[in-house]
């Protein structure tokens, strides 16, 4: 029996008072095919043309000194054939298969997420916290979010990319919301955008963006951009009234045309109710196991930050690695080898003058009166010829 089929008998929340049988809102089972339910029209097609360029190279090969070049373009072309699309996500949801999602903020994290085979990669406004050191997500700008999206898109050719609309980029009007979404899509190279909240203005913004032909992911429960109004990063849906509002909000976002909804920091029964009520996927973060998929922050799950930064690692996050400790050890070892002059050794000093040019170079220096420089060059020749004593290069440092 699929996991989605186990959800229905677990739902204890009575929503008949909120959604009477005559209501136009229907709560079908999760096994029904995913679709963006819109009143009076069919769902917009995913903007394939806007994202097709992600598989393309800039046409310039990497210098041989760094490797890469044509291989990167071939990898991107290969990935394009199996790129995750909205149709892929709809198929997984229809079959009851969990959807995997994680954040990324730059080219290296985009490469890692893509290689790991995630379905969705969110370029989140949490970059303000984990990449720029702020205490919340509010300071990051639309321009900076676009730069993060560009970087991730260069590294993630296969996964479905979602770009966050940052605080202040869509609240003023639907025109502002559409304009910001278009910029993130065109300039950031993502497949869709995400916005937070379920107030009437946010629902209108979501609907307008969908009408503009852009796929939208909603986000309810704890919405970090509303940290001021919420009084901090606090879980939501813990009372009957607020729990019902979470389900109502999810349905409203679905009605606006969203293809998925993030449920953050809500009790598991509330997330289960919302998941069962919707025909689109729910992506949980701190919302229990009954969602259609899960998302975590890249830095949190990898254990990037140490104890002094524990405030950015929420208690619902499982740490799958201790990358911060690995990084610290590597940096300390590098610093030590620099200070003891054991790095770089001959094996990491690969570039040499041709043997026939060494004497000519030394003589040219001496003819210019650069005798000390010639002596330094002669010593370097011996060093790069791997003349070591007891495995440790004997260096003469010229100040």
Does residue 186 have a known ligand-binding role?
Answer: no
**397 located within any domain:** no
24 CB-near residues (< 8 Å, 6+ apart): 39
CA 300 to chain centre: 12
State which residues form the domain around 364. 344-390
23 CB-near residues (< 8 Å, 6+ apart): none
Q: Would you give the DSSP letter of residue 43? A: P
pLDDT tens digits, the chain, 399 residues: what are they? 444 433 433 334 444 443 344 343 333 333 333 344 444 444 444 443 333 344 333 344 445 565 555 555 555 555 555 899 999 999 999 999 999 999 999 999 999 999 999 999 999 999 999 999 998 999 999 999 999 999 999 999 999 999 999 999 999 999 999 999 999 999 999 999 999 999 999 999 999 999 999 999 999 999 888 776 666 667 888 999 999 999 999 999 999 999 999 999 999 999 999 999 999 999 999 999 999 999 999 999 999 986 555 455 788 999 999 999 999 999 999 999 999 999 998 888 888 888 889 999 999 999 999 999 999 999 888 877 655 454 555 555 554
**153 located within any domain:** yes
**20 located within any domain:** no
Does residue 109 have a known ligand-binding role?
Answer: no
Which residues face 99 on adjacent strands? 293
* Domains contained in the chain, number: 2
Residue pair 197/222 in contact by the 8 Å Cβ criterion: no
**19 located within any domain:** no
pTM above 0.75, yes or no: yes
Per-residue confidence (pLDDT) for residue 67, from 0 to 100: 55
**336 located within any domain:** no
Quick one: tokens of 372?
């000390």
Same domain, 251 and 371: no
Does residue 14 have a known ligand-binding role?
Answer: no
Per-residue confidence (pLDDT) for residue 307, from 0 to 100: 55
* Cα 132 to Cα 150: distance, rounded to the nearest angstrom: 17
Quick one: tokens of 350?
């690969």
Does residue 125 have a known ligand-binding role?
Answer: yes
In the block, tokens 């869709």 appear at 192
Residue pair 292/283 in contact by the 8 Å Cβ criterion: yes
**268 located within any domain:** yes
Per-residue confidence (pLDDT) for residue 121, from 0 to 100: 98
Same domain, 292 and 376: no
Same domain, 295 and 380: no
* Of the candidates 144, 126, 145, 205, the residue with the CA atom closest to the CA atom of residue 171: 205
Beta strand pairing status for 99-103 and 120-123?
A: parallel
Same domain, 352 and 263: no
Same domain, 349 and 297: no
Does residue 196 have a known ligand-binding role?
Answer: yes
Same domain, 238 and 97: yes
Catalytic residues: 264
Tell me which of 268, 302, 336 is where a domain ends. Answer: 302
* Cα 14 to Cα 19: distance, rounded to the nearest angstrom: 9
Please name the residue ranges forming H helices in the chain: 48-51, 70-80, 86-94, 107-116, 127-130, 142-155, 174-188, 200-211, 227-230, 240-256, 268-277, 298-302, 323-339, 355-367, 371-384
Tell me which of 302, 322, 354 is where a domain ends. Answer: 302
- The CATH number covering residue 249 comes to 3.20.20.60
Same domain, 198 and 265: yes
């Amino acid at each position: 029996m699929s996991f989605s089929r186990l959800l229905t008998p677990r739902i204890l929340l009575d929503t008949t008072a909120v959604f009477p049988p005559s209501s136009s809102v229907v709560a079908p089972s999760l096994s029904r095919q995913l679709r963006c339910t819109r009143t009076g029209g069919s769902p917009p097609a995913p903007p394939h043309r806007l994202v097709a360029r992600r598989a393309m190279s800039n046409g310039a090969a990497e210098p041989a000194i760094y490797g890469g070049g044509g291989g990167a373009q071939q990898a991107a072309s290969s990935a394009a054939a199996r790129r995750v699309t909205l149709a892929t996500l709809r198929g997984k949801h229809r079959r009851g298969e969990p959807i995997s999602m994680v954040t990324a903020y730059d080219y290296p994290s985009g490469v890692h997420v893509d290689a790991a085979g995630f379905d969705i990669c969110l370029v989140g406004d949490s970059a303000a916290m984990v990449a720029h050191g702020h205490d919340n997500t509010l300071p990051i700008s639309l321009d900076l979010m676009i730069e993060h999206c560009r970087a991730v898109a260069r590294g993630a050719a296969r996964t479905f990319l979602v770009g966050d609309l940052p605080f202040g980029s869509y609240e003023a009007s639907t025109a502002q919301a559409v304009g910001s979404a278009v910029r993130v899509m065109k300039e950031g190279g993502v497949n869709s955008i995400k916005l937070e909240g379920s107030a009437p203005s946010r629902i209108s913004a979501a609907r307008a963006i969908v009408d503009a032909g852009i796929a939208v992911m909603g986000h309810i429960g704890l919405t970090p951009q509303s940290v001021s109004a919420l009084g901090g990063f606090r879980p939501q849906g813990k009372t009957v009234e607020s729990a019902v509002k979470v389900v109502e909000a999810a349905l409203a976002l679905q009605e606006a045309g969203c293809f998925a909804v993030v449920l953050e920091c809500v009790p598991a029964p509330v997330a289960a109710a919302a998941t069962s009520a919707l025909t689109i996927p729910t992506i949980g973060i701190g919302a229990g196991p009954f969602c259609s998929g899960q998302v975590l922050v890249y830095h949190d799950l990898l254990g990037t930050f140490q104890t002094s930064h524990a405030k950015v690692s929420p208690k619902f996050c499982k740490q799958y690695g201790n990358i911060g400790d690995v990084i610290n050890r590597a940096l300390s070892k590098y610093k030590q080898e620099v200070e003891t002059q054991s790095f770089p050794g001959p094996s990491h000093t690969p570039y040499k003058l041709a043997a026939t040019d060494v004497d000519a170079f030394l003589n040219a220096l001496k003819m210019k009166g650069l005798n000390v420089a010639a002596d330094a060059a002669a010593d370097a020749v011996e060093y790069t010829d791997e003349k070591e004593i007891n495995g440790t290069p004997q260096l003469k440092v010229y100040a």
